[in-house]
Amino acid sequence: MAAYGLYSHIRSNRRRSIALLVGLFFLVYVLVYAGALAAAALSIDADLDTLMQIALADLIKAAPFATLGTALWIVIAYYFHQDMIDALTGGREIQRTDNPRLYNILENLCISRGIPMPKLKVMDADALNAFATGMNAKQYSITVTTGLLNRLNDAEIESVLGHELTHIRNGDVRMMVIAVIIAGVISFFAELVFRLWFYNGFGFRGSRSDERRGGAPASPSWSQSGSSSSPMCCRSLSAWRCRARVSSWPTPARWNSPKTPMP
Amino acid sequence: MSISTVIVLAVIVVAVISAIGVYNGLVAMRQRVNQAFADIDVQLRQRHDLIPNLVETVKGYAAHERGTLDEVVKARNAAMAAQGSAQQAAAENQLTGALRQLFALAESYPDLKASANFQQLQAELADLENKIAASRRFFNNAVQEYNTGIQRFPAALFASSLGFAPKSFFDLGEERAAVGEAPAVKF
């Protein structure tokens, strides 16, 4: 059953996060297999069946390293992605005394929902932007640009913060980070294959005269189509999911002036 | 042990386990309602604590506005002494009304308005009003979840016999009309 409200979305996002994490490991195995197949096709002249068997054997040999590598990738992303984002965007955390107006708006929203308050960060930029990040309650933070703070009034800022807070509460943020990790892994593999293809002069060795040994031209298209279409699919899928989630909720309006039109 | 006995036993075990789960869920929801109600009190107490400071600040600039100042002090004492939630709600609404009158009054004293102390107190009290509203909203949310929980299917069978009565939302009641009036400001 499709999710229809906040609580069912929370449950569904939790399930999807787990499914994505499990799927990431399988994805890595598939990509390693694709890489092994391409490598076998490049170096060995044989039919497709033999090549696939060789690739499978290579996969089984490489599986422990692939699993370890993926686990390491996930652990690094889990603990350090917040720092990476902060380093990239220049966000700095603020306390109540730095900007009491903004801090109180977020605090009141959190009181009304009974959830702990995420860290509040401000980023120096002219663009009006705000986003939520973090994988667990200790890491959650909302970053807002100075451009947005200067241009919007209290009610509008409250809507923006409420929107970001709902992303956090929804479990969206955690799921999006996992999806981005997966997109990163796929891009990594896609680049690897692309470079392999490129350095072989946009083609592969393989005799075309013998039917039995025609496996080589077929195998690159398998691995290439898999690994290059995935990043685009992945990115557009993540963006679509975020948009679909976003457009289905009403933004919280101020509760003590119910006649204020929703922005 | 025949297969039908095993099945019957299994069904009973599953039923008991799920009943325990439902009961624990109801207990958790009831406690959240109680906690949410107590949390509203926290904000109200904070407001009570700020008022003496406010009264002293205003007295420094507008000493002959004794009428309004006395009303604020009286309302605050009544709110602190109120017992029971209905009396409390009424007293707190009185206090909100008195404060609103006081701030409306402060408009005609530019020195008072410009005082940093007064502005900070005004900002803090305005923020406390928002916080009170936020905690009431959370209380209503907790009550809604609890009421839904005791009326849903498996729980509805045994909730009332186990002492889970429905709770009411935070409601201003008859005082709503009084709160809805704007303070009378005479120029």
Q: Is the pLDDT of residue A40 over 90?
A: no
Q: Is the pLDDT of residue B114 over 50?
A: yes
Q: What is the mean pLDDT of residues A97-102?
A: 89
Q: Which residues of chain B make contact with A107, given a CB cutoff of 8 A? A: 131
| Chain A closest-CA separation from residue B164 CA (Å) | 23
What pLDDT, on a 0 to 100 scale, did the predictor assign at position A122? 93
User: Hey, is the C-beta of B142 within 8 angstroms of any chain A C-beta?
Assistant: yes
Q: Which sequence spans correspond to the domains of chain A?
A: 6-84+174-247, 92-170
B167: left (phi over 0), alpha (psi -120 to 50) or beta: beta
User: Strands (DSSP E) along B16-121, which ranges?
Assistant: none
Interface contact flag, A113 B129, Cβ < 8 Å? no
Interface contact flag, B142 A114, Cβ < 8 Å? yes
Amino acid occupying residue B124? E
Q: Which residues of chain A make contact with B36, given a CB cutoff of 8 A? A: 114
Interface contact flag, A112 B142, Cβ < 8 Å? no
pLDDT tens for each residue of B72-99:
999 999 999 988 777 888 888 889 899 9
Give the residue among B121, B135, B131, B132 at the shortest CA–CA distance from B51: B121
Q: What is the ipTM of this complex?
A: 0.75
User: Hey, is the C-beta of B123 within 8 angstroms of any chain A C-beta?
Assistant: yes
Q: Is the pLDDT of residue B14 over 90?
A: yes
Which site among A111, A117, A158, A256 would you substitute to test the B interface, given the most B Cβ atoms closer than 10 Å to its Cβ?
A111
Q: Which domains does chain B have, with CATH numbers?
A: 15-179 (1.20.1440.20)
CATH fold group of domain A92-170:
Zincin-like (3.30.2010)
Contact A120, A137 (CB under 8 A): no
SS3 of B25, please? Answer: helix
Q: What is the mean pLDDT of residues B158-181?
A: 71
Top-confidence residue, A39 or B77: B77
What residues contact B68, with CB distance under 8 A and at least 6 apart? B98, B101, B102, B105
Q: Is the pLDDT of residue A263 over 90?
A: no
Q: Report the C-alpha gap between B148 and B29 in whole angstroms.
A: 10
Q: Is the pLDDT of residue B132 over 60?
A: yes
This prediction's pTM: 0.69
pLDDT tens for each residue of B49-73:
999 999 988 888 887 788 888 999 9
Q: Report the C-alpha gap between A159 and A145 in whole angstroms.
A: 15
pLDDT tens for each residue of A186-233:
788 778 777 777 776 655 554 343 334 444 444 444 444 444 444 444
What residues contact B156, with CB distance under 8 A and at least 6 apart? B150
CA angle centred on A110, ends A99 and A107, rounded to 5°: 20
Which site among B29, B122, B127 would you substitute to test the A interface, given the most A Cβ atoms closer than 10 Å to its Cβ?
B127
| Chain B closest-CA separation from residue A6 CA (Å) | 13
| A211 in active site | no
Q: Report the C-alpha gap between A143 and A161 in whole angstroms.
A: 9
Per annotation, catalytic residue among A158, A164, A191, A211: A164
What pLDDT, on a 0 to 100 scale, did the predictor assign at position A159? 95
In this complex, the residue of A100, A112, A256 whose CB is nearest that of residue B138 is A112
- Helices A154-170, A215-247: crossing angle, 10 deg rounding: 130
**Among residues of chain A, what percentage have pLDDT more than 90?**
19
Q: Report the C-alpha gap between B166 and A55 in whole angstroms.
A: 64
In this complex, the residue of B129, B138, B142 whose CB is nearest that of residue A111 is B138
* B178 band by pLDDT with thresholds 50, 70 and 90: low
